[in-house]
Structure 1
Amino acid sequence: MRLLFPLLAITTFASAEDWPEFRGPSSQGQTAVTGLPTEWNPDFKKNILWKAPVPGIGWSSPVVVGDRIYLTSAVAAGGTDKPEVDRSLRTLCLQAADGKVVWDVEVFVQPKDAPQVHKKNSHASPTPVHEDGKLYVHFGHQGSACLNAADGSVVWKTQAFAYNPVHGNGGSPVIEGGLFIFNADADVNPSVIALDKTTGKQVWKFARVSEAKNKFSFSTPLMIEVNGQRQLISAGSGVVNALDPQTGKEIWKARYDQGYSVVPRPLYAHGMIYVTTGYGKPVALAIRADGKGDVTDTHIAWKIEKFVPHNPSMVVVGDELYFVADNGVLTCADVKTGTVHYQERCTGPISASILHADGRLYLQDEKGLGVVVQPGKSFRILAKNDMKERSLASYAVVENDFLIRTESHLWRVGK
């Protein structure tokens, strides 16, 4: 892999904030990093530090620890991406300084008769998790693995938890204590599964029960703490469950009828969980997180039913909740009451999650248009930046720069 654009100025990573999982160190699309750019242009190389080709297809977001970047991809056999071919499910490590490959390893081979994916999905959509020198990768129904982050060598891998997916894989895993946890929301017998992170062996399995006719979903769990108790918040079709992460026992649940194919990761702020209910008719719900048992009738504080996302995850900034519908309409609402301050057209069709960084909101639509918005109760666009390449992956942050994954490349964007 060669450097296509000259490196402008990369300083030390000593004070940088790592980006170890989907939606960053907060798990909720927030970063304390400052000095991020608001403008970039690939045609004029404005604020483009480097551009690196990425083999295959994958919509996992990059993760960053120190001076290394990690991401996954699915490389079709024979260099063609026809639907019925074997695929090499791979993990790559790149140098943050210049995008050059440090290592590139095959984790699994996906056979050509494997279930096919939705046109907006890929065979490598879940984002890895990095912890203590280990990289945990997940390919949904195709398997999970733990790799040594230094060289990509396999610590363990397993395909013991296969299931029949609808539209392919999606949700990313989380690490909690000694556990590697992921949603396995198949159309039949959906569940949440916890593995021993040192061995890959099952520790517990929670059977998700709901009234939804379509059981499949693709959300990523969120770890929170309420009154000294850890909770694993896991959204699926028809229901969001709060589980004891060590045992898999349910603490509370809130039902939302027939909502299915839930994608956005839950949020936690101001003592409430914010979720969207998926396809059918998406609804945004605010649920007080201190309940026990079925809290559907007691703990749902408010709901919004217009311009709610199917795919992009939301973000909270202060007392405002922001979410963007798949058609590009951005909503700003009061987190405590659900009062809508505005709903305005912001981007084109969008799947990537919103990032709040350096006092701004960053959004990236499916055609590669990056839109920068000023947070607040009135709508104000600060900049628009067109990468001119299809993009469904969410942003990551490396030092004072962005990593933007497009269909064929990874870009480092910074001043």
Structure 2
Amino acid sequence: MKPLLPSRAFSPALKLTVALAFCLLLTTAQAENWPRFRGIDGSGISSEKGFPQSWTEKDYAWHKELPGLGHSSPSIWGDNLFVTSALGEGETRYLYCLDPKTGAEKWKAETKLKKSHKHRKGSWASSTPATDGEHVYVEFADEETYLLICYDLKGNKIWERNLGSFTSQHGHGSSPMIYKNLVIATNDQQGPSSVTAFNKLTGETVWKADRAVRRTSYATPIIIDHPNTGPQLICVSGATGISSLDPETGKVNWTTGEFPMRTVSSPVYGEGLIFATCGGGGRGKLLYGVDPTGSGNVKETHIKYERSTKLPYVPTPVVYEGHLYLWGDSGVVSCVDLTTQNNVWTERVDGGYSSSPVCINGVLYCMTENGDVAMIDASPKFKSYEKISLGDPSHATVVVANGQMFLRTFKHLYCLNAKK
């Protein structure tokens, strides 16, 4: 189940070039941006160091109250932090740009929509913005309107696209993502569904892939670059299961066929496999680990790992150092050895979870719904740490960028600096 890496003989000059590039990569990784939901590639993994497993109120660099309610995570690029919030019953939505060093507001952009329903665990600002350091992209939706909006870094609206009505049971939850000169929106809902790529500078449609319709999906896609296939856009929904599209054209490469239930957690890629779950009622019901080198319907040929017990429904898994970490909604966490496919351990980390774990320098951080930061080692040997309470509920995923950790609750945002 390891990735199929091509064998090559390297010349001394090429070895030196690779070594220099690797040193540059290490330097860059020490101060990395967090431009989308769950980081650079959606894996939820950061190599940054210096973050503690114990801290107190006085250790925060800053703490800011955000008006209204929101479950989105921040996205960060350099000296700009972007986060969303909503007032009332969703009729007023905000995109904020803050200074990540101080929490000071640089600007905010307001979007007016209709009042709309939401799930008791949802919000009207659950979509995490995406940024490339030149623009920021945000999605908001009500029953009649689904907006994708582009702003420059000074808060000027550059373009806006209305993707039509949005029909769902639980509201809108997926997040935009950027690939090269494209910004991609996944619109898997109970009405007409599609994945659409827009020119990120002009908002013009580059391609649109119509999708089968069933229940709304709340998952955010990822891009993988497998050595044998090149880039693939990986999407999940109940109606299509796990599917691979050509990110340049939207053409479908392969699909597993439909999942039996809806998808909330997002796909992840590691050890040569794509992992994704479906579920309902607060429990994951089925997980596939798919080899992404197939074509057409790959259900019978390329599903290399399957699991139907002790699975997350909302939290997205993490693949780290040959192991798959499954953090369940009720706090049941499992570690799977992907070489042997054996379950290494299953332990309970008390709490309910509507956020996704992220791995920071070998430690998994995940927010409980009560607003506690739970931490365990991402290791074949289970070790947990005492939770840190933030005193306000949270459904947002932890973010780390450029030597800072950001913890978002329903109404607050906390910043914790790494220790030197």
Query: Is 1:301 equivalent to 2:313 in the alignment?
Result: no
Contact 2:30 2:48 in 1 (8 A): no
CA shift for structure 1 position 222: 0.5
Q: Which residue in 2 is equivalent to 1:328?
A: 331
Contact 2:146 2:163 in 1 (8 A): no
Distance 1:259 1:41 in 2: 41
Query: Is 1:19 equivalent to 2:34 in the alignment?
Result: yes
Percent of residue pairs bearing the same amino acid type: 32
Contact 2:70 2:411 in 1 (8 A): no
CA shift for structure 1 position 266: 0.6
CA shift for structure 1 position 340: 1.0
2:101 is aligned, of 93, 97, 103, to: 97
Q: Which residue in 2 is equivalent to 1:6?
A: none
Distance 1:36 1:396 in 2: 12
Contact 2:69 2:85 in 1 (8 A): yes
Look up the equivalent residue of 1:219 and give its one-letter code.
A
TM-score, normalised via structure 1 length: 0.88
Contact 1:27 1:222 in 2 (8 A): yes
Alpha-carbon RMSD across the aligned residues, in angstroms, is 1.9
Q: Which residue in 2 is equivalent to 1:229?
A: 230
Distance 1:271 1:376 in 2: 19
Change (3 A) 1:307 1:235: same
Change (3 A) 1:172 1:14: closer
1:87 is aligned, of 77, 86, 91, to: 91
CA shift for structure 1 position 251: 0.1
1:111 is aligned, of 75, 100, 114, to: 114
Count of residues in correspondence between the two structures? 384
2:80 is aligned, of 44, 68, 71, to: 68
Query: Is 1:28 equivalent to 2:43 in the alignment?
Result: yes
Contact 1:242 1:251 in 2 (8 A): yes
Question: SS of 2:397's equivalent?
Answer: coil
CA shift for structure 1 position 410: 0.4
Question: SS of 2:304's equivalent?
Answer: strand
Contact 1:328 1:347 in 2 (8 A): yes
CA shift for structure 1 position 188: 2.6
Q: Which residue in 2 is equivalent to 1:122?
A: 123
Q: Which residue in 2 is equivalent to 1:270?
A: 271
Contact 2:254 2:297 in 1 (8 A): yes
1:194-273 to structure 2, matched below 5 A, reads: 194-209=197-212, 214-226=214-226, 227-238=228-239, 239-260=241-262, 262-273=263-274
2:146 is aligned, of 142, 146, 153, to: 142
Change (3 A) 1:177 1:399: closer
2:374 is aligned, of 347, 371, 384, to: 371
Distance 2:180 2:158 in 1: 18
> What are the superposed Cα offsets for residues 332-371 of structure 1, whole Å, 9 maximum, x if unpaired?
0122443211111113000111111122111111111112
Question: SS of 2:224's equivalent?
Answer: strand
Change (3 A) 1:232 1:170: same
Distance 2:83 2:167 in 1: 24
CA shift for structure 1 position 142: 3.0
